[in-house]
């Protein structure tokens, strides 16, 4: 089945389908520079979840977009690599839009004066659309890759974020908001975006089992049960790995910094199309303690929450490619804040 016949055209009108809706709006806002048209695309009370907290106001979206367009005037909306969408009710759908972004830092940004350098990174916008408007969004960026490209010190930026987020203007508080709290019983049936259609349950189960066995139970030897021998993994900082052995090592390396980390799948989206085949998008959260290898400086033995997303391209029932994205700068900010709090207590 390549389409859901029960989705009302009003959910994505006047576009051809949900994929065209997402890609066309991205171009109209960023390529055509119609920032003000965000009001036509987003609900007034849009709820945006990021690794830095929650916002509930369309004005934040517009203001931040204007600042970003000034800083990166040739950045545009990036290149849409894929839109994995699925129905959510008669008049709605969830869209997981993976974007490869590039640009030149030629204007002032929250990170400071223009560097004149080019940058490249990936972003995933996981958007819930109802009656033609985005009502909720889970936004995940690889911000470390941006800073790496611009030659900026991630430690310095993360230290600033530890006090206040330049994205939301609010205190960094990962304990608040729907991105991290609330229990999900079975995301194959109902996740944070709502109830799924009763289909592709076998594929959802495969992804859930992979997270539970490989990530949570540390059964790295079972990767070959879920992945094609030619598995390709695209991860943060624009890293790319290929083959089962490299895929195993990449997971182990992430867990080495957070050896007690547990993954929770919070949303699953499945889409199959004649041109792109079967793809699965997942929103996940890792809860852990920074008590392992000193990837981000000396361990603080403090709790860390990581909001991430993965896109999977499937072939013959196995994962052929994965794109895994999370914001390492937000992770570092949590660690630095814990380190600063400990120092302040010791100095009393």
Of the listed ranges 2-16, 185-199, 275-289, 309-323, the one predicted with least confidence: 2-16
- Gap between the Cα atoms of 198 and 125, Å rounded: 24
| DSSP characters over 128-143 | EEETTEEEEEEEEE-H
Coil vs helix vs strand at 148: helix
- Gap between the Cα atoms of 94 and 22, Å rounded: 11
Q: What is the pLDDT of residues 56-98, one digit of tens each?
A: 889 988 998 999 899 998 876 788 999 999 999 989 999 999 9
Count CB-CB contacts under 10 A for residue 82. Answer: 18
Which fold, 190-346?
Answer: Nuclear Transport Factor 2; Chain: A, (3.10.450)
Query: What are residue 157's phi and psi, to 5 degrees?
Result: -65, -45
| DSSP characters over 208-258 | HHHIIIIIIS--GGGHHHHEEEEEEEE-GGG-EEESHHHHHHHHHHHHHHS
Confidence of residue 106 (pLDDT cuts 50, 70, 90): very high
Residue 180 has pLDDT above 70, yes or no: no
* Mean pLDDT confidence for 177-195: 82
Q: What is the pLDDT of residues 224-272, one digit of tens each?
A: 999 999 999 999 999 999 999 999 999 999 999 999 999 999 999 999 9
Residue 136 has pLDDT above 80, yes or no: yes
The helix or strand, by DSSP H or E, that contains position 319, with its residue range, turns out to be strand 318-326
Q: How far is CA 305 from CA 254, 284, 322, in A?
A: 14, 10, 21
* The pLDDT of residue 179: 59
* The pLDDT of residue 341: 84
Residue spans of the domains in the chain: they are: 9-163, 190-346
Residue 161 has pLDDT above 60, yes or no: yes
- Gap between the Cα atoms of 37 and 33, Å rounded: 9
In the chain, the percentage of residues whose pLDDT exceeds 70 is 91
Question: What is the dotted CATH code of the domain comprising 9-163?
Answer: 3.10.450.50
- Gap between the Cα atoms of 343 and 49, Å rounded: 30
- Gap between the Cα atoms of 65 and 161, Å rounded: 19
* Mean pLDDT confidence for 34-40: 92
């Amino acid at each position: 089945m390549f389409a859901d016949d029960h989705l009302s055209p009003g959910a994505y009108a006047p576009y051809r389908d949900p994929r065209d809706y997402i890609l066309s709006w991205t171009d109209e806002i960023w390529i055509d520079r119609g920032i003000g048209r965000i009001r036509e695309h987003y609900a007034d009370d849009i709820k945006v979840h990021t690794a830095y907290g929650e916002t509930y106001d369309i004005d934040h979206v517009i203001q931040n977009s204007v600042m970003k367009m000034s800083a990166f005037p040739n950045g545009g909306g990036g290149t849409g690599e894929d839109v994995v969408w699925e129905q959510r009710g008669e008049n709605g759908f969830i869209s997981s839009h993976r974007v490869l972004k590039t640009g030149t830092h030629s204007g002032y940004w929250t990170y400071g004066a223009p560097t004149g350098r080019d940058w490249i990174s990936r972003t995933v916008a996981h958007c819930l659309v109802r009656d033609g408007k985005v009502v909720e969004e889970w936004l995940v960026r690889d911000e470390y890759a941006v800073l790496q490209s611009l030659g900026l010190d991630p430690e310095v930026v993360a230290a600033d974020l530890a006090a206040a987020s330049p994205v939301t203007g609010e205190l960094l508080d990962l304990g608040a908001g729907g991105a991290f709290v609330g229990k999900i019983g079975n995301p194959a049936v109902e996740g944070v975006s709502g109830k799924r259609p009763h289909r592709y349950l076998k594929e959802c189960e495969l992804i859930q089992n992979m997270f539970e066995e490989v990530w949570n139970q540390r059964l790295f030897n079972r990767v070959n049960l879920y992945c094609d021998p030619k598995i390709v993994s695209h991860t943060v900082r624009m890293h790319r790995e290929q083959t089962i052995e490299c895929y195993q090592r990449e997971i182990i390396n992430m867990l080495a910094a957070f050896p007690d980390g547990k993954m929770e799948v919070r949303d699953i989206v499945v889409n199959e199309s004649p041109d792109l085949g079967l793809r699965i998008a997942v929103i996940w959260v890792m809860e852990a303690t920074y008590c392992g290898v000193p990837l981000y400086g000396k361990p603080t033995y403090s709790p860390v929450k990581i909001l991430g997303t993965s896109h999977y391209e499937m072939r013959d029932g196995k994962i052929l490619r994965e794109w895994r994205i999370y914001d390492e700068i937000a992770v570092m900010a949590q660690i630095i804040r814990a380190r600063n709090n400990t120092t302040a207590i010791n100095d009393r």
